[in-house]
Amino acid sequence: MGSYLRPTSMPEALAALAAGPRIVLAGGTDYYPTRVGRPPEDDLLDITAIGALSGIVESDAGWRIGAAASWTDVIEAPLPPLFDGLKAAAREVGGVQIQNTGTIAGNLCNASPAADGIPNLLALDATVHLASAGGERAVPIAGFVLGNRRTARRGDEMVTAITIPRPRNPARSVFLKLGGRRYLVISIVMVGAVAEFAEDGTIATARLAVGACSAAAVRLPALEAALAGKRPDGALVTEAHLAPLAPIDDVRAPAAYRRDAALTLLRRAVEALR
Amino acid sequence: MRSPAERIAFTLNGAAADVHTPPATRLSDLLRDTLGLTGTKIGCNAGDCGACTVLLDGRQVCACLVPAGQVAGRAVTTVEGLAEQGRLSALQQAFADQGAAQCGICTPGMLMAAADLLARNPTPDEPAVLDALGGVLCRCTGYRKIVEAVLSLGRNERLPVDAAPVAGAAVGARLPHPDAEAIVTGAHRFGADALPESAFLTLRAVRSPHPHARFGIGDLAPLHARFPGLVRVLTAADVPGQNLFGIYPTGKDQPALAPGLVRMRGEAVVALVGDAETVAAIRDEDVPITWEVLPPVTFEDARAGLGPDLHAHAPGNVLCRGRVKTGDAEAALVASPHRASVSVETGFVEHAYIEPEAGYARRVGERIEIVACTQTPYMDRDELALILGILQAQVRVIPTATGGGFGGKLDLSVQPLVAIAAWLLGQPVRCVYTRPESMASTTKRHPSRITAEAACDADGKLTAYRFHGDFNTGAYASWGPTVANRVPVHATGPYTIPNVLNTSAALHTTDTPAGAFRGFGVPQAAIAHEALMDMLAERCGLDPLAFRLANAIRPGDATPTGQVLRHAVGMADCLEALAPRWMELRAEAEAFNRAEKGASRRGAGVACMWYGIGNTSMSNPSDMTLGLARDGTLTLYCGAMDIGQGSKTIMAQIAADALGVPVAALRVTTADTDLTRDAGKTSASRQTFVSGNAAKAAGEDLRRRLLALANAGPDARLVPTPGGIVIDDGRRSVIPDLVRLAADPHGDVLVGEGRFDPPTTALDADGRGIPYAAYAFAAQVALVEVDTALGTVRPLRILAAHDVGRAVNPIQVEGQIHGGIAQGLGLALMEEFFPGRNENLHDYLIPTIGDIPPIEVTLVEDPDPLGPFGAKGIGEPALIATAPAILGAVHHATGVRLTRAPATPDRVRAALLAAGAAR
Ligand SMILES: Cc1cc2nc3c(=O)[nH]c(=O)nc-3n(C[C@H](O)[C@H](O)[C@H](O)COP(=O)(O)OP(=O)(O)OC[C@H]3O[C@@H](n4cnc5c(N)ncnc54)[C@H](O)[C@@H]3O)c2cc1C
Ligand code: FES
Ligand code: FES
C-alpha cells in the first residue's frame, strides 16, 4: 500500500503495472486536486523519469508526442501550422504552472469531458499508443476516449505516446475556448478544427470536434462533409450539424447555452481557418 | 498508509538539500512542514490559486501539485531564495514600494511567477505579464499594482514612494507598508505559518453533508481502537460553556459543534483531535454518525413562509426586518410623470480570501491563548470566553497575519474548536481549514431578491422611491441584522428624494450562513437603485450622468433617515470629475458600434454609491495608546487589525502627525488583546475614520504630556533622538529626563491615550435618526465590450472617483479601490456560490489578472470635519458602484438590462435572445 515507483525505463514501468493495480502519475495536475485534505496514499507509478517518454519528435510519418511531454513542450516545440490549434489550447490550459507540468497524455487519460486537449487530438486524427508487459497496441483517438473519465486503457497498460499523421495537403488548425474568465478556467465549450486545403484553396478534408458538450468530445461528421470542397465560411455551419452533441446543465452553464455557444464557436472556427 | 519515506536530494535556493520523505508528499508540504520554509503558501492544495508557486529548474510550478519524488536532482527556488545577499531583489523592492502586496498571502506566488517571466523576458509588455501571472489569484489588489510593479522592472524605473516624510507630512504620503519587507521575503506569518512551540495536536472537524438533518453519534471505541493516534473526539457535550456564538449579544444562535441537529451543509458535527497523520487519514465515513435527513428550507420557501421554523426566536424564519420611511412614497409614485421599476436577484458570493482559516490554541494555566487569523480579535475574545465558560480576562487573542478577510473573518471559524480542544486537553491544538471546508462552512454575501420603484418629475428631479429586499441569511444570524438595518438606510443611493419607503427582511434558510461581506447588502441594493436611475434618465431624455448629478445629495440636504448632511458630501464632485471622460467613453463606444460589423457591441455605464462609515446607529468605539519608553522609543499600540488593507500604516501616519514626529520614528505593534486596547473590528470601513481618530487623539495626548513635561509652548517641535526626545519651542530646547519617570508594564514612561466613538443616534420605528457620523461617496464608470453571440462581457476600462475625505496614504487608497473594483467585477459577471456544488476555486470563479482592465482613479478630497485629518473610509465604498456601472454599460451596449447577478455569459445571451438583441 502506498508505494511510489519512479522507474527510468519502460520495462521497469510495465513490470510494475503488471504486478498489480497502480495509478500512473505524470504531471499530477489532475491527480492531486482530487485528493485535497487527504494524504496521497495510492500506489503510484511516476513516469516522468522515463527518458523514452519525453519530448516531441518529428518523422516522415508525422509527429510523436511522448507521454511525459508537457503543454509547455508543445508551446515551445517548432511545429507547423497544423498544430496552431493544439498550441493555442496549450496556452489556455490552466496557468503557466499547469502548462509547465501537466501533460497532454495525462489530459487524455484523465478523459474529462472538458479536457482541452481532446478536441484537438480528434481534429488531428491522433493515434494513442499503449504498452503493457504483454505488448503494445495503437488505438485511434476516437476509440480511446469512451466517455466521462472512461478510456479504452486497461489497468496494466500505460500510454506511451500520441502520434499525429502528416497531412497529405497543407493544413491549418484552430482552437477556440469559451470560459467564464480569462485564465485558469475550465471550458464551457471548446472547438478544435483542422482543415487540409486543396491547391485551389478549397477544403480537401476537415475535421472538427467539440468538447464539453457531451460525455466525451465528439467530431461532427456531417459538418466535415459539408465543408469538403468549399472555401471556409462560417455560414456553412448549421444547427443540424450539432446533432452529435448532448450537452448537460452544470455549474458552469446550462445545456441550451452550450449548444448555442458551440454553434457560434464552430462558425468562428471555420472562419478562422481561412 | 503513505508511501514509505525515501531519501531525496535536490538543490534548494542554491544550496544542497537532502530530505527523507515519502515521495508522494506534495512539494509544498515538504517545504513547509519538513523544511520549515513557510514562505510558500497554501490556498487550495489543488492548483487553483497559485499561492504555492515555486520555481522548478527555473520554471514556475504549483508546489501543491508536485510530488517530492519529482524534485530529485533538480533545483527548487522559493520566495526565501529571491533576496540577494540579504538585500531585497529589485522585484521584491518594486512589490514592496508600489503596494503590489496588500494582505500578502498571494505575494510569494506572484513573485515567483514574475521571477520566472523576468528571467526569460527582462522587458515584458503587459500581455506577457498577464500571461505569466495568470495562474496566481489575488483577492486584495485588483492586480493592477502588481502589473505595474512587474512592468516597472522591465522599464528599469522606480515609481515614486515617500519613504521618509518629515514630521507633519506623513498624512498624504505614499508610504510603503511596514510589513512589506516581511511579506515579500515570505517571513510574514499567516494562520497556517504560526506553530506552537511545544508538541501539538491537530484538529479536523467532521462536517454535515446534509443541509438539514438530525444525527446521532454511535460508539466511538472502535474508531479509537482502529486509530491509536486519535486522542479525542469532541462533540457538543464537550463544550465547557455556552455552545452558541454569534455577532450580536442577543442573537447567539450558532453552535461550535452541532447538538444533534444541523441546519446547514458543512456544519461541524464532531472534531477529531490527534496527530496530524491520523486525523487526516480518518475518513468522515469512518466516524459512526447516523443521519436522519430533514427537508431543506430554501430561500423560496422562506420567502413564501413555508417550511418549519429553524430557530424558536425567528418565527416564520424572519430573523429581523429593517425600515426607513419619509414622506409618502406611495402617493408620490402615483403622482409623478415618470416612473420605473426593477426586480433584482443576486446569489451567494464567497469571500475567497486566498488564506483559508487557520490557527492554534494553547492553554497557559487558567488562561487560553488563540493564535489565528481574524478581523476582530476583541470580539473573538469575548465570544470565546462565553464558549469556554471563563472570564474575558482569561482569553488572549494574538492574531497572526490575516490573508484577506473582506468580512468573512469577522465570524469565528477555527477558534472555538481549537480553544475547546486545547482547554480540555491541556496541549496546544492546531487546525487549518481546507479550501472546500472553508467555502462550505464560513459566511457569504447575502443572496437577495429586490423589488424597487422610483419616480421623478418632468424635469428629472427624483420624487419618490420604494424598495423591498429579502436577504437569505442562511442557517445562522451572523451579520444578518446588520444587512437588514444598513440596506434600508442606503437603498435609495446617494440622491435627494423626499418620499421614501425602504424595507428589508433577513430570512433564515438551511443554506450556508450569510454574514458580512464588503458592503453588508448595499452592493446588492445599488444594482437596483442604479438601474432605476438609468431608466428614469432615459424616460426624461437625460444623460445618465447628468441625471445623477441633478439628483445627487449635496451639503444641506437631508437623507431618507432625516439626517441633514452639512459637510463633506462629495457626490457631485465625484460625478463632475468623471464627466469629461464619461462623454469621451460614451462617444467612443457609440462610434465603435457604428463601425462594427460583427457581434461585438461596446457601452459605457455610470453608477454612484454612498456608504455610512462605522456601525449603524450603534456605539463602536476605538481605543489607542501611544507610549514613550525611557530610551525614547515611541510605540503605537494598535489594536486595529490590519488584514491587508493597511491600517498599520494609516494609524502610524495619523499618530505621527498628531504627535509631530516623523512617521519613521514610530513603532507600530500588531493587535494582541493583552497588549493593545480594543480598536473594534476591521469592518464597516471604520478603521481609518474611527481608529484613526483614536490614534490622532493618542498622538495629541502624548504631545500635550510631553510639552507639559518640558513646559514648552504649543508649537514646539519634537525631535526623536537616540535615547530620548528633544522638545524645542524656539526659545529653548529640552531633552526631558525620561529615566526618572516610572515605567508601565510595557516599559513606557509616558502614554498618550485616545478614544473615539462616532456620534450617532438610534433610529426610530420609521428609521429616522442619525445612523452614521460620516459618509463616503463615489461614482464609477465602466466601459465594456459585449460579444452578443456568446453573451460574454469584457470590461475594457473602469474609472473611479471616490470622495475619501482625505487620502491618508494614496497608494493604499488606490489599492483599496482597485481591489474593490475587482470584487465588484466578480459580483457583476462571474461569482456565484452554490452550497455543495462549487466549494473550490476551480468551479467558483473569481477574477484573474487577465480579467481586470486598466483602472483610472480620481481621489476627491473633501475633508470631513469629524475625520482624522479629514479622512473617511474606503474599504467597502470601493466595490459598491462597480457592478451597477458594468451592468449599465451592458445596457448601453446592447439595450438589454441584466438584473440577475452575476451576468454570466449564458444569462446575458438568454437576455439578448429574449429581447431580440442578439446577433
Ligand atoms: C488549476 C488547474 C487548471 C486546469 N486547467 C485546465 C484547462 O484549462 N484545460 C484542461 O483541459 N485541463 C485543465 N486542467 C487539468 C489538467 O491540468 C490537465 O488535464 C493536464 O493535462 C493533466 O496532465 P497531468 O500530467 O498533470 O496528469 P496527471 O494528474 O499526472 O494524470 C491524470 C490522469 O491520467 C492518468 N495518466 C497520466 N499519464 C498517463 C499515462 N501515460 N498512461 C496512463 N495513464 C496516465 C493518471 O493516472 C491520472 O488518472 C487543470 C488543472 C488544474 C489543477
Ligand atoms: S495551494 Fe497550490 S495552487 Fe493553491
Ligand atoms: S494581496 Fe493578493 S491576496 Fe491579498
By CB neighbour count within 10 A (0-12 exposed, 13-18 middle, 19+ buried), where does B598 fall? exposed
DSSP string, B91-134: HHHHHHHTT--SS-SSHHHHHHHHHHHHHH-SS--HHHHHHHHT
The count of CB pairs under 8 A between chains A and B is: 180
Tell me which residue in B67, B840, B848 faces A28 most closely, judged by beta carbons. Answer: B67
Cα–ligand 2 centroid distance for B641 (angstroms): 26
The CATH superfamily label for domain B6-81 reads Beta-grasp domain (3.10.20.30)
| Beta pairing, strands B358-364 & B338-346 | unpaired
Enumerate the β-bridge partners of residue B792: B787
What is the predicted pLDDT for the residue at B418? 98
Higher-pLDDT residue of B250, A78 = A78
All three cell numbers of B768, joined, read 429616522
- Which pTM does this prediction carry? 0.98
d(CA A62, CA B456): 71
* Average pLDDT of the segment spanning B606-619: 96
Give the closest-approach CA distance of A190 to chain B in angstroms.
12
* Closest C-alpha to ligand 2, atom 3: B47
What is the predicted pLDDT for the residue at B161? 75
Give the closest-approach CA distance of A208 to chain B in angstroms.
19
Q: Is B145 in the pocket of ligand 3 (CB under 6 A)?
A: no
Candidate of B41, B49, B106, B848 to mutate for ligand 3, largest count of ligand atoms within 8 Å of Cβ: B106
d(CA B815, CA A65): 45
d(CA B243, CA B386): 8
Mean of pLDDT over chain B: 96
HEC secondary structure over B316-359: HHEEEEEEEEECCHHHHHHHCCEEEEEEEEECEECCCCCCCCEE
* Average pLDDT of the segment spanning B50-60: 98
Q: Say which CATH topology domain B622-756 has.
A: Aldehyde Oxidoreductase; domain 4 (3.30.365)
Give the position of cell 496514499.
A41
CB spacing of A41 vs B137 below 8 angstroms: no
Predicted-complex ipTM score: 0.98
* Average pLDDT of the segment spanning B462-480: 97
Is the pLDDT at B740 greater than 80? The verdict is: yes
HEC secondary structure over chain A: CCCEECCCCHHHHHHHHHHCCCEEECCCCCCHHHHCCCCCCCCEEECCCCHHHCCEEECCCEEEEECCCEHHHHHHCCCCHHHHHHHHHHHHCCCHHHHHHCEHHHHHHHCCCCCCHHHHHHHCCCEEEEEECCEEEEEEHHHHEEECCEECCCCCCEEEEEEEECCCCCEEEEEEEECCCCCCCCCCEEEEEEEEECCCCCEEEEEEEEECCCCCCEECHHHHHHHCCCCCCHHHCCHHHHCCCCCCCCCCCCHHHHHHHHHHHHHHHHHHCC
Chain B CB contacts of A185 under 8 Å are 845, 848
Tell me which residue in A38, A184, A253 faces B906 most closely, judged by beta carbons. Answer: A253
Closest CA to B10 of B78, B90, B109: B78
CB spacing of B434 vs A36 below 8 angstroms: yes
All three cell numbers of B544, joined, read 445618465
Specify the amino acid at residue B679: A
CATH 3.50.50.60 fits B448-503+521-615+764-915, yes or no: no
Tell me which residue in A36, A44, A100 faces B60 most closely, judged by beta carbons. Answer: A100
| CB B736, CB B706: distance < 8 Å | yes
Tell me which residue in A46, A251, A261 faces B69 most closely, judged by beta carbons. Answer: A46
User: Residue B861 catalytic?
Assistant: no
CB atoms within 10 A of CB B336: 19
> Greatest CA span in chain B, whole angstroms?
84
Closest CA to B679 of B625, B633, B750, B628: B625
What is the predicted pLDDT for the residue at A133? 97
Chain A CB contacts of B4 under 8 Å are 2-3
Q: For the domain with range B90-185, which CATH number is right: 3.50.50.60, 2.102.10.10, 2.40.30.10, 1.10.150.120?
A: 1.10.150.120
Q: How confident is the model at residue B1 (pLDDT cuts 50, 70, 90)?
A: very low
What is the predicted pLDDT for the residue at A135? 97
Mean of pLDDT over chain A: 97
Please provide residue B263's backbone torsions phi and psi, each rounded to the nearest 5 degrees. -115, 5
What is the predicted pLDDT for the residue at B2? 60
d(CA B799, CA B781): 5
Candidate of A14, A24, A108 to mutate for ligand 1, largest count of ligand atoms within 8 Å of Cβ: A24
For residue B883, give the H/E element and its range. Answer: helix B882-894
Give the position of cell 526631558.
B736
The answer to whether A51 faces chain B, any CB pair under 8 Å, is: no
Enumerate the β-bridge partners of residue B177: none
Q: Does B448-503+521-615+764-915 match B90-185 at the fold level?
A: no
| pLDDT, tens digit (0-9, with 9 covering 90-100), for B136-180 | 999 999 999 999 999 999 888 777 777 789 999 999 999 999 999
| pLDDT, tens digit (0-9, with 9 covering 90-100), for A16-74 | 999 999 999 999 999 999 999 888 889 999 999 999 999 999 999 999 999 999 999 99
HEC secondary structure over B825-870: HHHHHCCCECCCCCCCCCCCCCCCHHHCCCEEEEEECCCCCCCHHH
Enumerate the β-bridge partners of residue B359: B372, B431
Give the closest-approach CA distance of B135 to chain A in angstroms.
4
Chain A CB contacts of B59 under 8 Å are 72, 96, 100
Neighbouring residues of B133: CB distance < 8 A, sequence distance ≥ 6: B110, B113, B114, B117, B143, B146, B147, B150, B849
Candidate of B62, B106, B354, B841 to mutate for ligand 2, largest count of ligand atoms within 8 Å of Cβ: B62
Closest CA to A32 of B149, B42, B329, B565: B42
Is the pLDDT at A1 greater than 60? The verdict is: no
Annotated domain spans of chain B: 6-81, 90-185, 201-295+352-441, 448-503+521-615+764-915, 622-756
The answer to whether A264 faces chain B, any CB pair under 8 Å, is: yes
Cα–ligand 1 centroid distance for A107 (angstroms): 4
> Could you identify the atom of ligand 2 that is nearest to the CA of residue B47?
3
Is the pLDDT at B919 greater than 70? The verdict is: no
CB spacing of A44 vs B67 below 8 angstroms: yes
| pLDDT, tens digit (0-9, with 9 covering 90-100), for B684-716 | 889 999 999 999 999 999 999 999 999 999 999
* Average pLDDT of the segment spanning B741-757: 96
| pLDDT, tens digit (0-9, with 9 covering 90-100), for A219-266 | 999 999 999 999 999 999 999 999 999 999 999 999 999 999 999 999
Q: How confident is the model at residue B536 (pLDDT cuts 50, 70, 90)?
A: very high
Is the pLDDT at B471 greater than 70? The verdict is: yes
* Closest C-alpha to ligand 3, atom 2: B138
Q: Say which CATH topology domain A171-272 has.
A: Enolase-like; domain 1 (3.30.390)
What is the predicted pLDDT for the residue at B90? 95
Q: What is the CATH number of domain B201-295+352-441?
A: 3.30.365.10
Ligand 1 pocket, Cβ-based, cut-off 6 angstroms: A 23-31, 33, 47, 67, 93-94, 98, 101-103, 105-107, 109-110, 115-117, 153, 158-159, 184, 186; B 46-48
